[in-house]
Amino acid sequence: MTDKSSNQMWGGRFAAGPDAIMEAINASIGFDKRMATQDIAGSRAHAAMLAAQGIVTSSDAEAMREGLLTVLSEIETGQFAFSTALEDIHMNVEARLKEVIGEPAGRLHTGRSRNDQVATDFRLWVRDQLDAAASGLEALMRALLAQADAGADWVMPGFTHLQTAQPVTWGHHMMAYVEMFARDLSRVQDARKRMNESPLGAAALAGTSFPIDRDMTTEALGFDRPMANSLDAVSDRDFALEFLSVASISAMHLSRFAEELVIWSSAQFRFVTLSDRFSTGSSIMPQKKNPDAAELIRAKIGRIFGANVALMMVMKGLPLAYSKDMQEDKEQVFDAADNWMLALAAMEGMVKDMTGNRANLEAAASAGFSTATDLADWLVRTLDLPFREAHHVTGSLVAMAEKRGCDLPELTLQDMQSVHSAITADVFGVLGVHNSVASRTSYGGTAPVRVREQIGRWKEVLG
């Protein structure tokens, strides 16, 4: 039987038999080359430590460290030829290092394994992404603060069930998202602190008999401490799972805001106008201005959620220590990171560029009986009615206004007294939307004075 006929069961994609299949499924260089910078940083730290401990000569270590910089330069300038036959970024770099410096390259792998090497590279890569996410979240929070500052006293409808509930301020709504993304930021910072331990030196799974100095490589790579158990060091991917978990929660917040922007920019709402930079038109409907950036953020979030579930499934049944299954960790994290960073940047751009339509916001805030709760509160405070009775009186007045096609402030005093005779003209002082929001002065409330306090606090926190 020829190679061609024996390979039919594998499909025409492969030119050879099972050897080609194995190479294709085993190789990770197609995606783990993204960790080249981290791989070379780890190897340079390892080489310096080997020399300091007398495991290799200083001249060999210097040749390795300089040669690794040459390899990094080739990768960064696109001159490096990656080989699938060499499987991964580690072997690709080491093979090229041998071509550059010769025999000393063979000493680089002393006292380590690809198991602790990849765990170190991946941690460094994820740590860099957490730092990038922190920067992206802070930039988005600043953009929201600017919007809140500009419209701290603008009134708009607050919704529950997407039904008009009570008036709030534009600034208060923007600050709600500041709080959400601040929690994301705190999770990023917390995850970074927890994952900042070095696996390097754990070797394959049991440590090494060479007299290595793990504290030296830990410090060189910016980790806080070496991992305390070599089995855990090579088999742990909690840091990647936590990254995906943090990304998923943040992505959910981005998606919620994206949904609001889609609604708010519609012709039926006209609460905001998105800039042309983050909108597109229609090929046949010239009046259309589509909030495509918001819609794409809303859609891309599914990839981040999916990555989180996918890696959980990869890890759930693995015995200690390293298994080849764990090669499937990186593509999920890489894709999620790309989409999270893109979504953060796009949302920041939309928020910075968008214009709140103050007149439309105020008109909507004044409709839908949004001050009904203020009327009920006035009945409790002024007439000393039990709240349930006040709720019933207010409901009757809302029904009257609805039947007449008007809002509560448009009812006459006589109309109101027909429902409850003790109501006085003072009630009209609480029915305006500006009066309503100004009265909500409890901590965390929507009153402009409270909103400005929170804006000031966050400006100080973000610096």
Q: Which active-site residues does the annotation give? A: 161, 282
Q: What 3-state DSSP class applies to 332?
A: helix
Compute how many other C-beta atoms are within 10 angstroms of the C-beta atom of residue 13. 9
> Checking DSSP bridges between strand 225-226 and strand 163-169, what pairing results, if any?
unpaired
User: Could you tell me if residue 203 is left (phi over 0), alpha (psi between -120 and 50 degrees) or otherwise beta?
Assistant: left
DSSP-assigned states of every residue in 307-330: HHHHHHHHHTTPPSS--GGGGGGH
Distance CA 2, CA 15 (A): 12
Phi, psi of 433 (to 5 degrees): -65, -35
User: Could you tell me if residue 87 is left (phi over 0), alpha (psi between -120 and 50 degrees) or otherwise beta?
Assistant: left
DSSP-assigned states of every residue in 117-155: HHHHHHHHHHHHHHHHHHHHHHHHHHHHHHHHHHTTT-E
Distance CA 264, CA 256 (A): 12
Query: What is the distance of C-alpha 143 from the center of its chain?
Result: 16
